[in-house]
Every structure is written in C-alpha cells, then in structure tokens.
C-alpha cells in the first residue's frame, strides 16, 4: 500500500527528474561551472517538461521561445566580466 498525501500524489516524477539531471551533469556535461548551473537546470527542466513530445515538437517549441530574442557576443562577455563594452 502506498501512503501519499493528498491521495494520488507521489515523488516518483521528482526523483526521475533528479536522476536525469545527475546523469546529464556527470555524463553529458562533465565539467559544469557553478556560475552556469542555472542554465543546465533550465535545459533539463525543459527536456523533462516536454518529454512526452517528439523531437520535432521540442525543436519547434525551442525555436518559438527564442524568436525575437538576440544576444550579441560583446554584451555576453561584458556581462560575464570579459573585456567587452558595457551592456546597453
């Protein structure tokens, strides 16, 4: 008998997410800097939330999320403490 509260809720989904995240960090992304960890978490959350979709659906969803958003190299390296000009 499984005891959950409220009835029907369980932690299997959360355990599955953390397992996939750990496998990704230790397998695919071997050297993760703590500064960039939130980016890896965002990617894994997107993959997990869209896991029931096929590759084409995930690709289209990712493209829809980036349309109209631009990031120039100079702004990126300035934001990370590089030698680029200050972000506008």
Residue spans per domain, the chain: 1-52, 55-88
| Pair 50, 57: CB distance under 8 Å | yes
Provide φ and ψ at 53, rounded to 5°.
-90, 160
What pLDDT is stored for residue 84 in this prediction?
47
Q: Give 56's pLDDT tier (boundaries 50, 70, 90).
A: very high
Task: Round the CA-based radius of gyration of the chain to a whole number and report it.
Answer: 18
Q: What is the pLDDT of residues 6-45, one digit of tens each?
A: 666 667 777 888 888 888 888 887 788 888 888 888 888 8
Identify the residue with better confidence: 35 or 83. Answer: 35
pTM: 0.57
Find, among 22, 26, 19, 17, the residue nearest to 46 by Cα. Answer: 17
Q: What is the mean pLDDT of the chain?
A: 78
């Amino acid at each position: 008998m499984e005891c959950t509260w409220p009835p029907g809720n369980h932690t299997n989904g959360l355990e599955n997410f953390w397992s996939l995240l750990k496998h990704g960090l230790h397998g695919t992304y071997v050297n993760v800097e703590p500064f960039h960890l939130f980016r890896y978490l965002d990617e894994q959350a997107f993959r997990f939330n869209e896991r029931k979709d096929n590759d084409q659906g995930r690709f289209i969803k990712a493209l829809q999320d980036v349309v109209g958003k631009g990031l120039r190299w100079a702004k990126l390296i300035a934001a990370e403490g590089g030698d680029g000009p200050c972000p506008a």
